[in-house]
Amino acid sequence: MDRLQGVACPRLSRRLVVVGLACLALLAAALPAVASAARPGKAAIAAAHPLAVAAGEEVLAGGGNAFDAAVAVSAALAVVEPYASGLGGGGFWLLHLARGDRDVFIDGRETAPGAASATMYLDSGGQVIKGATLDGPLAAGIPGEPAALVHMAKRYGRLPLARSLAPAIRLAAEGIPVHERLQMGLRFRRKAMERSPALMAVFYPGGEAPAAGSLLRQPELAATLRRLAAGGFDGFYRGPTAAALVEGVRAGGGIWSPEDLAGYRVVEREPVRGRYRGVRITSAPLPSAGGIGLVDMLNILSGYDLGRLDPATRKHLIIEAMRRAYRDRSLYLGDPAFSQPPVEQLLSPFYAAGQRTSIRLDRATPSEVLAAAPADGSAGQDTTHFSILDAEGNRVAGTLSINTWYGSAFMPPGTGVLLNNEMDDFTVKPGTANAYDLLGAAANDIAPGKRMLSSMTPTFLESDRGVAILGTPGGSRIITMVLLAALDWVDGGDARSMVALRRFHHQFYPDVVEYESGAFTDAEIKALEALGHRLELGTRAYGNMNVITWDYATGRVGAASDPRSAGEAQVY
Ligand code: GLY
């Protein structure tokens, strides 16, 4: 071997003993990096609930790989965080296959039912019917998560699906301790839930909200999971589960058909890729706006030496990059099967250079000065994210959702499945913002079979230093959270600093910088306001990021769960 990790070695000869020894020393120094880059030798899981982490650990310990663990963690999250994701929702799973050094993006996003139409949420006067996109079964897209779990287990897992679903089945059948977030969501969504007796029976047993620490059993969900484990795709999308879902939805005023379920398909997509200061970014493609937004922002920022700027100017530029990327999101993005968003242009460094010409160092750009956007958009506040690394170097970044807290607050009787309200992520009417104040365009209007635009941004960062696996829930703020964490990693941050850093967010409209307490110093607030930014201190902390890092040089695997919530991160 003449070259290893960039170390050039002349051939050894007697006359070059000294050079040879020096060369061997260099090789020895280089070897550990090569070995650790090939295989971490350790596994890690970071997720929003300790029982979901335990489910993944059980499957890893039973001989599963990261993909089996991802099935186990996803299914367990459906049981322990029923307000955030589940079989009645969808998600994106970004996989890295160590063998073959390949990335795969699994799109298990919900689709609009076959009877859906662009005007389905408008009254006869053309106004949006209040609550129609959020509450009840008319708000629900056709779920993609069950199909994605079957697909991931079959194509990439090592264990049978039933083995990976076993921990979730046990949790649903035996019960989980009621925790604070679960209770908080129940209080918040009670009114909408009262219209779904099946759901009330599970979450308000005997008519009362369950006490903290009491056991919450979900026997019908356990039965649905068992049918999925036994029958795979058909165990959910055909047969008794499908029949109960369709019957319940239609009886509740929804429009699903058996064909909608039987016709659901997972899509494997090429991830979005970008580069920023020597870091390779691999992230979510359409129908998520996440990867495009992330790369667009980083491309804009790559024109500045952020490290040399004073902190207020640095933050001003980050805000201006956010503003422009969210403008593009609202103008152009939607399901690529239904329109041709200009993805190549949005990802081009030349486009970013053009965007930079409109950025002034001495003044915020009012959003209204940039070309006006038609309105409405997408993203889920109560979504969930987990990160997994296995000992062989396989990785998963999974972000899953039923959209807002407890989704549509509707459960078809006999299924235990809480349905999403992801239809709100479509552009329901141009000029009307969605639950997350996002704007959208015709590219994201409703059509049968179409996938609604998402903000979920499961992401890998990779450089000579190592790898970071990250993502978060947080609605429209997901993409800016991932941006800030990525900038932190580029600056030498680790898993712990990435999840903990104080966040700020701008999404084009409303023309406001929302920030967490501590995101800006008093001096920065003054400086940013002097530039013309409107700052608003958020009422509460947001996000629930889960990050795993693997350092090639030291072999160290780090994992951290957001201190704002009750998740867990473990290295094995
Ligand atoms: N509803 C969550 C998202 O896809 O952005």
Q: What pLDDT was estimated at residue 320?
A: 98
CA-angle at 399, arms to 202 and 240, nearest 5°: 45
36 CB under 6 A from ligand 1? Answer: no
Environment class of 72 (CB within 10 Å of its CB; exposed 0-12, middle 13-18, buried 19+): buried
476 CB under 6 A from ligand 1? Answer: no
Determine which residue's CA is closest to atom 1 belonging to ligand 1.
380
383 CB under 6 A from ligand 1? Answer: yes
Cα radius of gyration (the chain): 24
Q: Ligand 1 centre from 4 Cα, in Å?
A: 44
Residues serving a catalytic function are 383
403 CB under 6 A from ligand 1? Answer: yes
At a CB cut-off of 8 Å and minimum separation 6, what does 419 contact?
A: 88, 89, 137, 139, 140, 143, 249, 402, 407, 408, 410, 411, 412
Q: What pLDDT was estimated at residue 170?
A: 98
Q: What pLDDT was estimated at residue 12?
A: 32
Q: Ligand 1 centre from 455 Cα, in Å?
A: 5
Question: pLDDT digit of tens for each residue in the chain (572 aa)?
Answer: 222 222 223 333 334 333 333 333 333 333 333 334 579 999 999 999 999 999 999 999 999 999 999 999 999 999 999 999 999 999 999 999 999 999 999 999 999 999 999 999 999 999 999 999 999 999 999 999 999 999 999 999 999 999 999 999 999 999 999 999 999 999 999 999 999 999 999 999 989 899 999 999 999 999 999 999 999 999 999 999 999 999 999 999 999 999 999 999 999 999 999 999 999 999 999 999 999 999 999 999 999 999 999 999 999 999 999 999 999 998 999 999 999 999 999 999 999 999 999 999 999 999 988 865 543 333 445 799 999 999 999 999 999 999 999 999 999 999 999 999 999 999 988 777 666 666 667 899 999 999 999 999 999 999 999 999 999 999 999 999 999 999 999 999 999 999 999 999 999 999 999 999 999 999 999 999 999 999 999 988 899 999 999 999 999 999 999 999 999 999 99
**What CATH code is assigned to 269-378+456-571?**
3.60.20.40
In the chain, where does the domain assigned CATH 3.60.20.40 lie?
269-378+456-571
> Ligand 1 pocket test: which of 326, 376, 378 has the largest number of ligand atoms within 8 Å of its C-beta?
378
* Full DSSP string of 229-251: HHHTTHHHHSHHHHHHHHHHHHH
Determine which residue's CA is closest to atom 2 belonging to ligand 1.
380
Q: What pLDDT was estimated at residue 539?
A: 85
457 CB under 6 A from ligand 1? Answer: no
Q: What pLDDT was estimated at residue 30?
A: 38
Q: Ligand 1 centre from 404 Cα, in Å?
A: 9
- Helices marked H in 358-429: none
Separation CA 149–CA 77 (nearest Å): 13
Determine which residue's CA is closest to atom 4 belonging to ligand 1.
454
Separation CA 284–CA 296 (nearest Å): 13
Q: What pLDDT was estimated at residue 434?
A: 66
The DSSP secondary-structure symbol of 136 reads: S
Cβ contacts of 97-103, under 8 Å, gap ≥ 24: 97/156, 97/394, 98/38, 98/39, 98/392, 98/393, 98/394, 99/392, 103/271, 103/282, 103/460
107 CB under 6 A from ligand 1? Answer: no
Q: Ligand 1 centre from 454 Cα, in Å?
A: 4
- Helices marked H in 466-521: 478-490, 495-500
Question: What's this model's pTM, rounded to 2 decimal places?
Answer: 0.92
Q: Ligand 1 centre from 107 Cα, in Å?
A: 13
